[in-house]
């Protein structure tokens, strides 16, 4: 039996740069209320959302990703050609193939890196970060571009009172590279597939080819709707509130730190009440900065954590070298949490 030479990369990995892109159009709750029977007060009290960004036709998944990636590359101070892999997490790239990561890699000038998409919903950024860390330590890439990007306005049913106000668009990106010290902790991740029906697409794409209109969703005028994201709000809320705080605590334990050691908490921006509940359950000290980007950005799924991270650093609410706990959770149901040092 031949002996295979082991690959060798860096001892550890870290986030070296971060970038974000929010579409230019800001959509207040008043626009959402044109289609549903609700109120601005109800939306704010239930979700914490006041506004969100919706992309124009020109602000495609690719275009937003390239903008965010360019900022992350500049922030990291590397040449795009040094990027050995591009990992894109998204559920709103509507071509089955090729992966949008390949197009993004070309447009940012990354040369010929490995490039692929992943579908892990709102936990997608954490999944991508974990894959990037593995590539760097394993030695298959020196620098990895990880992007979370969504155009969820394309998958929003504006007549669905439970979800019409939730979703926004945007892209967040980080460069992950080598480190001499641990700067990305162990990942606590997993799935609960028995709850997969609680967040899902309304109908599969192939239903649009069967010719049976009775299987397709219709709007109030009887016209066929585009597929949308739907969820069982109360079930998802209970799961996130009671289970994700446990996952976050496990990530702290895996990193060998306590809540007192944290500087920043960056949860997936799903709902302000979920965020506040997690802060209380984890007993985070008052000195810990908590990301609440959802108020003006909405739920951007895979993009929410890097977008929130970028805003905290840009506004000075967090600083380079801070210790941050990040956790994403969503459709699947899937989750991923880890402790990182901010770039």
Last residue of a domain, one of 158, 181, 204: 181
Domain assignment present for residue 205? The answer is no
C-alpha span between 309 and 126 (Å, rounded): 13
Check: CB of residue 84 under 8 Å from CB of residue 135.
yes
* Residue 21: φ, ψ to 5°: -140, 125
**β-strand 188-191 against 334-341: which pairing, if any?**
antiparallel
Q: Which range marks the domain in which residue 244 is found?
A: 186-196+229-342
C-alpha span between 301 and 185 (Å, rounded): 22
Q: What percent of the chain has pLDDT over 90?
A: 85
Under DSSP, the state recorded for 53 is: E
Dihedral of CA 168/295/69/55: which sign? positive
Residues 267-291 have pLDDT tens digits of 999 999 999 999 999 999 999 999 9
Residues 200-246 have pLDDT tens digits of 988 777 777 665 566 677 666 667 777 888 988 899 999 999 999 99
Least confident piece of the model among 59-63, 76-80, 207-211, 304-308: 207-211
Residue 188: strand pairing partners: 337
Give me the pLDDT at residue 213, please: 62
Judge if 243 and 104 occupy the same domain. no
Q: What angle do CA 179, 184, 188 make, to 5 degrees?
A: 150
Judge if 46 and 84 occupy the same domain. yes
Domain assignment present for residue 45? The answer is yes
Q: How many helices (H) and strands (E) does the chain have?
A: 9, 14
Q: Is the peptide bond before 259 cis (omega within 30 degrees of 0)?
A: no
Greatest CA separation for the chain: 70
Judge if 76 and 89 occupy the same domain. yes
Whether 76 has a pLDDT exceeding 80, the answer reads: yes
Check: CB of residue 52 under 8 Å from CB of residue 168.
yes
Give the relative orientation of helices 304-315 and 124-138 as an angle to the nearest 10 degrees.
Answer: 80
Give me the pLDDT at residue 209, please: 67
Instruction: Calculate mean pLDDT across residues 166-191.
Output: 98
Q: Find the length of the chain.
A: 343
Check: CB of residue 99 under 8 Å from CB of residue 88.
yes
CATH number of the structural domain spanning residue 262: 3.40.47.10
Q: Which residue has the tokens 């069982």?
A: 232
Two tokens at 327? 């956790």
CA-based nearest residue to 51, from 38, 59, 40, 61: 40
Residues 97-156 have pLDDT tens digits of 999 999 999 999 999 999 999 999 999 999 999 999 999 999 999 999 999 999 999 999
Two tokens at 24? 């230019």
pTM (2 d.p.)? 0.94
Judge if 191 and 163 occupy the same domain. no
Last residue of a domain, one of 181, 211, 242: 181
Judge if 142 and 256 occupy the same domain. no
How much is the mean pLDDT over the chain?
Answer: 94
Whether 64 has a pLDDT exceeding 80, the answer reads: yes
Domain assignment present for residue 7? The answer is no
Judge if 168 and 256 occupy the same domain. no
C-alpha span between 89 and 147 (Å, rounded): 6
What confidence tier does 343 reach under pLDDT thresholds 50, 70, 90? Answer: very high
Domain assignment present for residue 208? The answer is no
Judge if 28 and 166 occupy the same domain. yes
Instruction: Calculate mean pLDDT across residues 157-169.
Output: 94
- Helix or strand holding residue 66 (H, E): helix 61-76
Check: CB of residue 142 under 8 Å from CB of residue 128.
no
Q: Please tell me which residue, 332 or 134, carries the higher pLDDT value.
A: 134
Check: CB of residue 76 under 8 Å from CB of residue 107.
no
Whether 258 has a pLDDT exceeding 70, the answer reads: yes
* Residues designated catalytic: 122, 268, 299
Check: CB of residue 120 under 8 Å from CB of residue 332.
yes
Judge if 157 and 278 occupy the same domain. no
Give me the pLDDT at residue 5, please: 80
Judge if 31 and 154 occupy the same domain. yes
Last residue of a domain, one of 153, 181, 209: 181
**β-strand 83-89 against 143-151: which pairing, if any?**
parallel
Domain assignment present for residue 142? The answer is yes
Residue 181: strand pairing partners: none
Give me the pLDDT at residue 266, please: 98
C-alpha span between 12 and 29 (Å, rounded): 44
Number of separate domains in the chain = 2
C-alpha span between 123 and 110 (Å, rounded): 25
Q: Is the peptide bond before 98 cis (omega within 30 degrees of 0)?
A: yes
């Amino acid at each position: 039996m031949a002996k295979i030479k082991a690959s060798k990369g860096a001892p550890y990995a870290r986030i070296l740069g971060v970038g974000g892109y929010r579409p230019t159009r800001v959509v207040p709750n008043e626009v959402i209320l044109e289609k549903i029977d609700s109120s601005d007060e109800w939306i704010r009290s239930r979700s914490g959302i006041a506004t969100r960004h919706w992309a124009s036709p020109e602000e495609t998944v690719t275009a937003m990703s390239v903008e965010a990636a360019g900022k992350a590359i500049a922030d990291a101070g590397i040449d795009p050609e040094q990027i050995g892999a591009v990992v894109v997490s998204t559920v709103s790239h509507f071509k089955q193939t090729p992966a949008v990561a390949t197009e993004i890699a070309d447009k940012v000038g990354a040369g010929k890196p490995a490039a692929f998409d992943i579908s892990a919903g709102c936990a997608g950024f954490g999944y991508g970060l974990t894959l990037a860390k593995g590539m760097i330590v394993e030695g298959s890439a020196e620098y990895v571009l990880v992007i979370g990007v969504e155009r969820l306005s394309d998958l929003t049913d504006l007549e669905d009172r439970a979800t019409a106000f939730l979703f926004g668009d945007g892209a967040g990106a980080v460069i992950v590279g080598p480190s001499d010290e641990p700067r990305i902790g162990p990942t606590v991740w997993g799935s609960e597939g028995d709850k997969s029906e609680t967040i899902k697409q309304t109908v599969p794409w192939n239903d649009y080819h069967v010719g049976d209109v009775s299987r397709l969703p219709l709007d109030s005028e009887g016209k066929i709707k585009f597929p949308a994201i739907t969820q069982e709000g109360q079930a998802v809320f209970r799961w996130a509130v009671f289970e994700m705080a446990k996952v976050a605590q496990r990530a702290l334990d895996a990193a060998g730190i306590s809540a007192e050691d944290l500087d920043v908490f960056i949860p997936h921006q799903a709902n302000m009440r979920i965020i506040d509940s997690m802060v209380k359950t984890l007993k985070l000290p008052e000195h810990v900065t908590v990301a609440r980007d959802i108020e003006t950005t909405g739920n951007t799924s895979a993009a929410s954590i890097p977008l929130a991270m970028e805003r905290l650093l840009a506004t000075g609410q967090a600083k380079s070298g801070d210790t941050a706990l990040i956790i994403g959770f969503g459709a699947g149901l899937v989750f991923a949490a880890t402790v990182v040092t901010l770039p």
